Amino acid sequence: MTDWTAGYVADIGYTYGYYTELNPLRIKLAFLNQGLVFPEVGTACELGFGQGMSVNIHAAASTVTWYGTDFNPSQAAFAQELAAASGAGARLFDQAFAEFCARQDLPDFDYIGLHGIWSWISDENRAVIVDFIRRKLKVGGVLYISYNTQPGWAAMVPMRELLTHHADVMGARGTGIVSRIDAALAFAEQLLATRPSYAQANPQVAERIKKMKEQNRHYLAHEYFNRDWHPMSFARMAEWLAPAKLSFACSAHYTDHIDAVNLSDEQQALLKTIADPTFRELVRDFMCNTQFRRDYWVKGARPLGAFERLERLRAQRLILLSPRDAVDLKVSGSRGEATLNEGVYAPILDLLAPHKPLTLGQIEEAVKGRGLVFAQVLEAAMILVAKGDVALVQDDATVAKAKRSCDKLNQAVLQHSRSSNDIAYLASPVTGGGVMLNRFQQLFLLARSQGRKQPQEWAHFAWQHLQALNQRLIKDGQPIAAAEDNLAELERLAVEFAQQRLPILKALQVA
């Protein structure tokens, strides 16, 4: 019998995550920051879309025509349901990479994305994907790819092998992957308690095992327990992508663009002496002990003229996603946590506080009186987008066209929230991407969409659904027992939602 899983975990579904780096709109600011020409994305493809949250949100929230595949039929079926609900026209399949990539009815693409795929598939599938990119990515097109990398994973490689081997040979097959994961983690803790030399030489492994015990088992199954798991150096990745005529453009993780939070002065000076871009990235990964890369590669990198670069940068619009007073003036990089300069960030955040889109040029003009220059405005924008406090904004024509499909997709997700908390995102036509909302907030929105106007009504609506499923709220780590206490907590949350979150959702045209 043919094993259609190809060694990939298939007996447990992937999480319903949304990955903002897959949003093609984010290419623009990253490329402009690097001084590169970026494509206008009209056709896009996601390979290995999991439950399909990202591909469906991006299809609904833009005018881009999306294609994609995921080999797991149950995941593909759910993704297709969402695509049908939104009416955005995404064409999603349940084919293996070899089958999908050989299709004759696919267009050429401006953008191809793979998130959390490359490190977990065989070399045979990698070859199929590279050939697909070579044939189907347009000249000037962009590949987004994320992958586990060395040297950050070096210490964990043997421990991961021990965990998977325990699950294979010591775990009871009939009990399912989750129980085998639990048993493997328990054994790893037993082993580490004996203070093996490996643990003494690699003290960070014990902390990683501790964190793994706290993580979602569905995530762990797909992250660690597939047959294939290959953290890859940047130099090796460059070798793989060379036949597709791709060159490295820049990181899709905006914090990586800010050297000050990732590299010491001595490290920055050393990197400047390295002319070869591949070797420079390899060295940088050693400096940062990089574990996970999120990168843009381009088929035909072209520099953008200085005048046109600044003109396009100044035209880029931003919107604040968080309440103004909730923005923490701290950022984390490879060097740890850094405090942001309040003299730079406070006036920019004050301008964005009404949650109205502003261009970088408008912000630059407004803060000139405070002695700030455009370079500071741009760096602040990069960091605030990286932190998730600010998002890029689409043009008004695109926003108007995407509104209907976003509304339809969001209504399907809100209906789903009546019985489940596994989806935590809705689509915004303003940002072209996902907006995080927990289940209670989704139920409040659903109640509001059905004509209930007051927070107290939203709370009663949410409680009716929780009560029907015999579910209770958790507070301070403990379930709330009494019905009146559950309702009181929901009313508090609903009032807080109305005051803090709802105005932002209206600005994002989600509510």
Same domain for 193 and 335, yes or no, is no
Same domain for 287 and 313, yes or no, is no
Its pTM stands at 0.90
Q: How far is CA 484 from CA 410, 446, 461, 487, in A?
A: 30, 22, 14, 5
Q: Which amino acid is at 202?
A: N
Instruction: Compute the distance between CA of residue 125 and CA of residue 131 in angstroms, rounded to an integer.
Output: 10
Query: Do the domain assignments include residue 11?
Result: no
19 or 170, which is more confident: 19
Mean pLDDT confidence for 309-322: 98
Q: Which amino acid is at 13?
A: G
**The tokens 């149950």 sit on which residue?**
74
Same domain for 208 and 254, yes or no, is no
Residues with Cβ within 8 Å of 502's Cβ and at least 6 positions away in sequence, in order, are 511
- pLDDT 10s digits, 330-344: 999 999 999 999 999
- The candidate with the shortest Cα–Cα distance to 53, out of 9, 96, 23, is 23
Same domain for 355 and 334, yes or no, is yes
Split into its structural domains, the chain has a count of 4
Coil vs helix vs strand at 102: coil
Looking at 194, 219, 244, the residue that finishes a domain is 219
Question: Per-residue confidence at 10, pLDDT binned at 50, 70, 90?
Answer: very low
Mean pLDDT confidence for 307-330: 97
438 within 8 A of 449, measured Cβ to Cβ: no
Query: Do the domain assignments include residue 6?
Result: no
Question: Per-residue confidence at 174, pLDDT binned at 50, 70, 90?
Answer: low
Same domain for 259 and 130, yes or no, is yes
What region does 189 belong to: left with phi over 0, alpha with psi -120 to 50, or beta? alpha
Instruction: Compute the distance between CA of residue 86 and CA of residue 104 in angstroms, rounded to an integer.
Output: 26
User: In percent, how much of the chain has pLDDT > 70?
Assistant: 96
Question: Per-residue confidence at 2, pLDDT binned at 50, 70, 90?
Answer: very low
The CB-side HSE value for 85 (13 A sphere, CA atoms) comes to: 22
Residues with Cβ within 8 Å of 39's Cβ and at least 6 positions away in sequence, in order, are 27, 110, 111, 138, 140, 141, 142
Looking at 191, 219, 247, the residue that finishes a domain is 219
303 upstream amide cis, omega within 30 of 0: no
Q: What's the pLDDT score for residue 167?
A: 85
Instruction: Compute the distance between CA of residue 164 and CA of residue 179 in angstroms, rounded to an integer.
Output: 13
Same domain for 61 and 115, yes or no, is yes
The CB-side HSE value for 112 (13 A sphere, CA atoms) comes to: 28
30 within 8 A of 254, measured Cβ to Cβ: yes
Looking at 282, 298, 314, the residue that finishes a domain is 298
Query: Do the domain assignments include residue 122?
Result: yes
Same domain for 279 and 416, yes or no, is no
Query: Do the domain assignments include residue 14?
Result: no
Instruction: Compute the distance between CA of residue 508 and CA of residue 511 in angstroms, rounded to an integer.
Output: 8
Q: Which two tokens stand for residue 367?
A: 């803060």
Q: What's the pLDDT score for residue 173?
A: 66
- pLDDT 10s digits, 221-250: 877 787 778 899 999 999 999 999 999 999
Same domain for 291 and 315, yes or no, is no
pLDDT at residue 36 greater than cutoff 90: yes
Q: What's the pLDDT score for residue 6?
A: 46
Same domain for 142 and 206, yes or no, is no
Query: Do the domain assignments include residue 169?
Result: yes
- pLDDT 10s digits, 186-220: 999 999 999 999 989 999 899 989 999 888 887 88
Query: Do the domain assignments include residue 16?
Result: no
Q: For position 102, which CATH number holds? A: 3.40.50.150
Query: Do the domain assignments include residue 9?
Result: no
Residue 92: phi, psi to the nearest 5?
A: -120, 135
Q: What's the pLDDT score for residue 291?
A: 93
DSSP lists the bridge partners of residue 247 as 298
Same domain for 406 and 320, yes or no, is no
Query: Do the domain assignments include residue 341?
Result: yes
- The candidate with the shortest Cα–Cα distance to 90, out of 186, 22, 3, is 22
Coil vs helix vs strand at 34: helix
> What is the DSSP-derived secondary structure letter of residue 36?
B
Q: What's the pLDDT score for residue 221?
A: 81
176 is in which domain, residue-wise? 154-219
Same domain for 331 and 457, yes or no, is no
Same domain for 242 and 170, yes or no, is no
- pLDDT 10s digits, 341-363: 999 999 999 999 999 999 999 99
